[in-house]
Amino acid sequence: VQESIVFYVDNLYFKKVVSIPDNTGKLAFAILHNGDVEIMLEQQKAFEEEVSHFKGKEIGGTFSMYIETSDVEALYNKLKDKIQISKELQETFYKTKEFGILDNNGYVLVFAEKL
């Protein structure tokens, strides 16, 4: 959770608005905001305690986040030399300009601007 907070705050300009430590003092949960976007981060162990269905199951699958923004080209230029780009800036057939990145956990975030 702490490493993800650092990534999102330092690279994507989110602000931490809530953080909750576990019984060892490590962060178990956090809420981050940037404009209208809210992200909740939670330790696997804490999540399993809250939602017992996932207890003991292997983490897997894929996840991507699609975030509409303005001036996507300026954001791309700020990020392209700081973090891993997974999809270069391009115009799409569905009338957006967008690019993708990988966060610190390997999840894909796509930033798009409607044309």
Give the length of the chain. 115
Give the pTM: 0.85
Contact 80, 73 (CB under 8 A): no
CA 108 – CA 115 distance, rounded (Å): 22
CA 102 – CA 110 distance, rounded (Å): 9
Instruction: Give per-residue pLDDT as tens, 30-89.
Output: 999 999 999 999 987 877 888 887 787 777 667 789 999 999 999 999 999 999 999 999
CA 22 – CA 19 distance, rounded (Å): 10
Report the half-sphere exposure of 48 (CA within 13 A, side-chain side): 9
